[in-house]
Amino acid sequence: MDPVIVHIRRELEALADPEIQRSSKRFFKEDITCYGVKTPTVTSIARKYWKEIRMRDKQEIFALCEELYRSGYIEESFIVSNWAYALSGHYEREDLAVFRRWIETYITNWASCDGFCNHTLGDFMERYPEYIDELKRWTRSENRWMRRAAAVSLIVPAKHGKFLSESIGIADLLLTDGDDMVQKGYGWLLKEASRMHSDEIFSFVMKNRRVMPRTALRYAIELMPKDLKVEAMKRDW
């Protein structure tokens, strides 16, 4: 095992707090494995050891990330998210296959999904927008986290007004998904898109509100003016 991984795990074990561990587990519907270390502390550890590995070959860093993922600890998945995004200036097209495999194989909760996809996948899609169709294919996956990833990977670009039609397209593909984690994911995407495209998102919601799960709808209209929220939530169907 690489010494960096050994040192990270020793540090996390030394900082483990049983109370934080218990409260963290209550925060998720899914069973999670965690040390019980606060996220800001984990981020500091990730940055500390990034300084030690940043000059290594990208594939070697990817291998370290996979070793962290294999442990199953949520804190170690957060370190992967930090390191993978730190490599953003070095992404290549073939990296998408690696990222897809990580999501399919290792991600088992919304925090690990969002932490990785919001930044790493979002940045990748901005650099290589021709791969947006890959996200659309993920909407048909049997894996709930792949389907959520299809939406939350566009959160940051959508917040800045990008990928409107693509965001609406993904939301449309996930529209009647029965999984609440997926509903919250695409509802969140629509909410962020509404920051700069309120009219278009409101139109989409009104067009689909008869079949759109209430969870997704509430997320989507969260930033809209009160009168539009009231109109969207009317039960006059």
- Of the CATH numbers 3.30.460.80, 3.30.420.40, 1.10.274.30, 1.25.10.90, which one belongs to the domain with range 107-237? 1.25.10.90
State residue 237's pLDDT score.
47
- CATH 1.25.10.90 domain residues, the chain: 1-90, 107-237
State residue 27's pLDDT score.
80
Q: How many CB atoms lie within 10 A of CB 236?
A: 4
Q: Considering only CA atoms, which of 30, 183, 162 is closest in space to residue 107?
A: 30
State residue 28's pLDDT score.
85
Q: Which residues, 6+ apart, have CB-to-CB distance to 49 below 8 Å?
A: 4, 7, 8, 79
Is the domain 1-90 a CATH 3.40.50.300 member? no
3-state SS string for the chain: CCHHHHHHHHHHHHHCCHHHHHHHHHCCCCCCECCCCCHHHHHHHHHHHHHHHCCCCHHHHHHHHHHHHHCCEHHHHHHHHHHHHHCHHHCCCCHHHHHHHHHHHHCCCHHHHHHHHHHHHHHHHHHCHHHHHHHHHHCCCCCHHHHHHHHHCCHHHHHCCCCHHHHHHHHHHCCCCCCHHHHHHHHHHHHHHCCCCHHHHHHHHHHHCCCCCHHHHHHHCCCCCHHHHHHHHCCCC
State residue 81's pLDDT score.
97
pLDDT by residue, tens only, the chain of 237 residues? 899 999 999 999 999 999 989 888 888 888 889 999 999 999 999 999 999 999 999 999 999 999 999 999 999 999 999 999 999 999 999 999 999 999 999 999 999 999 999 999 999 999 999 999 999 999 999 999 999 999 999 999 999 999 999 999 999 999 999 999 999 999 999 999 999 999 999 999 999 999 999 999 999 999 999 998 899 888 654
The tokens for 196 are: 């700069």
What is the pTM for the complete model shown? Answer: 0.92
State residue 187's pLDDT score.
97
- Amino acid (one-letter) located at 77: S
Asked whether 92 and 62 are in contact (CB, 8 A), the reply is no
Q: How many CB atoms lie within 10 A of CB 120?
A: 24
